[in-house]
Structure formats: structure tokens, C-alpha cells
Amino acid sequence: MSNYDYVIVGAGSAGCVLAARLSEDRNTKVLLIEAGGKDRSPKIKIPAAFAQQFQTKLDWNYETEPEPGCNDRRLYIPRGKSLGGSSSMNAMLYVRGCAADYDGWAADGCEGWSWEEVLPYFNRSEHREGETNGNRGTGGTLNVADPVSPRPLTDLMIEAARANDFPLDPDYNDGQPDGVCRVQTTTKNGRRWSAADAFLRPALKRPNLTVLTKATVLGLEFTGERVTGVRYSKGRRATTAIATASREVILSAGAIGSPQLLLLSGVGPADQLQRLGIEPRIDLQGVGENLQDHPYVVGIWESVVGDSLLDAQKPRAMLDFLLNREGPLTSTVAEGFLWTRADREATAPDLQCHLAPAYFSDNGFEESDEHAYTMGPVLIAPKSRGRLWLRSADPAAKPAMLGNHLTEQADVDAIVHGVKLSRELAATEPLASATGREIYPGAAVQTDEEIIADARERVQLLYHPVGTCKMGTGDDAVVDSGLRVRGVRGLRVIDASVMPTITRGNTNAPTYMIAEKGAEMVREAA
């Protein structure tokens, strides 16, 4: 048995921040446990290669149950399985979301989580390269950079949007994203800059921080109503051990792993747990509920001028990357954003169109040998809500998930709007002159009914599961505003699972913010 002050489960985006911040106090002993291994793969370091990690040993490789709104298709959800977690696998797009997201959290009972109150925690992490305004950080360890070598096709897409009267947004991370822009990325010198790079690696030299990799947490240890540690297995023989925490155990295993561990440990809906032979400890009905993600449907067009990421397959591209840290391999694939509203009465954007100078279909598994570009409208304020539940009491069994994507009419209407908008951009100069055949949805898809049918057949997720350990004050809340699990002492959840509603945009930056704020709460309680 090993004794620590804090035990953190999961070395992903949140866990790396927590390990770094809590170990700053040299009088505390911190243990960080990660089921995956080291983050040494070149596929992690090369930005454009992120999809090559999918369905490998670096991926938890989840999928939903058959989705009723998506022709009963199972939708793929990759999750990073190495140091850095999904920040070692994602597309490196730094997006804070809208001020309205966080003001909405605060209005719904999450005291202390308004935009003005969370902004300092975004800034604490960040080092924004180049010119900044008063809402951006410059002294943090998380590097945020502009694209190193954007493709000319990206500029054509941006100019087409501007020709359609969309404004150029000088900084979409100011809380009010509006219009078209290039992306901002968590890269440094042309390479991925993950949570492990930004937070964990600088802290590894501290003698009070221990990191265990390839160690799987099996469940929580209790003494009465207090969580006192975790039970985990490690090694080829899966030897079981216990790590105790004199102060707190913190779950940072993400919106899939954290609720799974709570349920396995008897914290969740009592009736569900009893059916699986798990003794209920705390009857928390909200554990696993409120699952949300960002669905999207891509439009793909042939590029008659080339200039796409197909060039990344050439030997010259690898030389440019290795010698100069530039060229197409530094790309995050999506190189531009267009923020807009399908619902004209919406107070904030509900669509985020990703502009990619590449052929990107079926999560990158479907390849093409022709130059192409992709525009993917994303539902960033989806109405649908899903749930996660255990299949069995076996910790090795993947949980079941159902997102109910495209079962709400408002979401279907927004997708139709996004597809039509993408087509308008493709037909607008200067992009029109670079555009050849429409590959997806294709010329045969024209009416609203045909667009909807195509969307149900091709919709995918943007890999942003959140919400399954909801923060709030209602009966469905799992954690309070201090991220403490209700009805339990010595236990917090600090990761994307605590989001009451999904943020309008990619969720990695908000996860860093949650971890920064959570770390401060933990230290103040010590």
C-alpha cells in the first residue's frame, strides 16, 4: 500500500494540470495514475498525423450504441490512451467557447463559473504567441500559436466567407466568436504541445510527484462515506495494489472514464447498480446522464488547383517538418473556422464550420488520392442529450453510450442550414474557381429531405464527450460548484464530465480551465 496526499486518476488534459499544480506544494505527495503508456509515438508529435492514432494502442476506441437519429449507426469516439490523454490525440484547436456558455452555467446554479470568473483560469494556463489583448494569457506553459504553414485553399475558403458578408474575427477566443478566421492551435515550433508537454513534463523532476503509467484503476476505496484511495492493477500479471489519499482522490478520467469509475464503485443510480450486482453506496441518479457531444456533417469538394494536405504524403513534407518545423505536416487539418447562427434568434453562434484544406471523411479512415477541401458544419449548441451506463461489473468492459444525436428537430434544421451554407461558400469566388466536383453530399442530394437523409447516414462526432458528472444544484447534479461529489467526502471530479452544458466549440481549452480552477479549489481546502 502506498500513501499520498492526493491521488489523481487519469493523466489527460485535466489530470496533467492537476498534477502540476498540486505538486507545486513540496510538502504534499501526489500520485498520478494513467492507464495508457508514454507519449513517445511520432504520430503524437506530428500535428497532421493525429487521425493515424485512431483505433491503435493509443486509443480507447469507444463507440455509441446504435443511434436512432443516425440510421442506427454506431458513432466512433476516439479517446487518447497515453500521457496527455486526448490532448495527445486531438486536432489541437484552442477554443474557449462563448461567454454565454459560462454565464449560462452560473445562471443555472454553478456559482463562481461565469465568464468573468473563469477567464483568469484560461489566462493562467496560456502563452499566446504574437499580439494579444487583455483577455489573453502570455505567461503560461500551454503554448497557443497560429498555423505555421496554412494551405492556400484555407485562405480561399476564408475569402469566400467574407464575400458572403461574414466578418473577419480578429480573436474568436475573446468570448464573442463571430465570423470567419484562422484557427489557433496548441502547438509549439510546429509540433503538438499537449498537456503532458505543457504541464506534466516540467513537473516530473519534483520528488513529491509520482506518475504510474499502464496502471488501470479498478475502483474507489471507502472508509464509511469517505473515499480514502483507489484500487488499481499494473503489470503483465495485473497485480492489484491500493494507493491511499489522506486528503482527496480526484477523478480526471474524462466524460467516459470518470462516471464509469463512480458506477463501478457504487456511486450512481441504485437500481442500475443492483441489477449488475454492485452494492450501491450513494444513490446519485445523475451519474452517466447528460451526455453531450458535437455532431457534424462534412461537405467535400475536389480542388482543381491542388494546394491541399495531400502534399503531406510527399517526402519533401517530412523533410520540411524534421528540418524546419514547417510545411503541411504542421497542419491541424482544420485550419479555419466560420462561426454563425442557424437559429437567427440565438444569442450566440450555434454552428461552427470547420474549414479544412484536405479530404476528411469517416473520421479520416476514408482516403482519397485527389486534392480536395472539406467544410464541416458542427452543431455546437446541440439540443440532444444522451447517457452512459455500465454493461457489467467488470472494470475491463467498456461502458455503453447513447447520444441521441439528430433526434431533436432543431439539431436537424441546423445541420440542413450548415450544409446549404457550405455549398454557398463553395460557389463563391475566389473559392469557386478552385472548386471541381462536389464529392459529398454530391449532386444527387438537393432537397431538404435528401440532405437530412444524407446527414443521418454520414454524421459523425467531433470527439467532445462531456456532461456525465454534471455540476450544479439540482437532483441530477453529480458534483457541486466546488466539483465535490455529492454525498461523498474526499472525492472530486475535475474534467470535462462536469460541464452542465457543452461549450460552443472544441472542448480542450475549457477542460484546461476547469482543471486550473479545480486545482485552486483543492489547494484552498487543504
Q: Is 410 exposed, middle or buried (0-12, 13-18, 19+ CB in 10 A)?
A: middle
Cβ atoms of residues 417 and 444 within 8 Å: no
Pairing mode, strands 336-340 and 351-356: antiparallel
182 bridge partner residues = 336
Cell (9 digits) for 342: 442557424
Peptide bond connecting 430 to the previous residue in cis, omega within 30 degrees of 0: yes
CA distance 50 to 202: 23
CA distance 357 to 373: 4
| From 127, 354, 405, 464, active-site residue | 464
CA distance 198 to 286: 33
402 bridge partner residues = 387
Neighbouring CB atoms inside 10 A of 232's CB total 23
CA distance 17 to 327: 30
Cβ atoms of residues 324 and 330 within 8 Å: no
List the one residue out of 2, 21, 18 whose CA is nearest residue 10: 18
Query: Is 464 a catalytic site residue?
Result: yes
Catalytic residues: 464
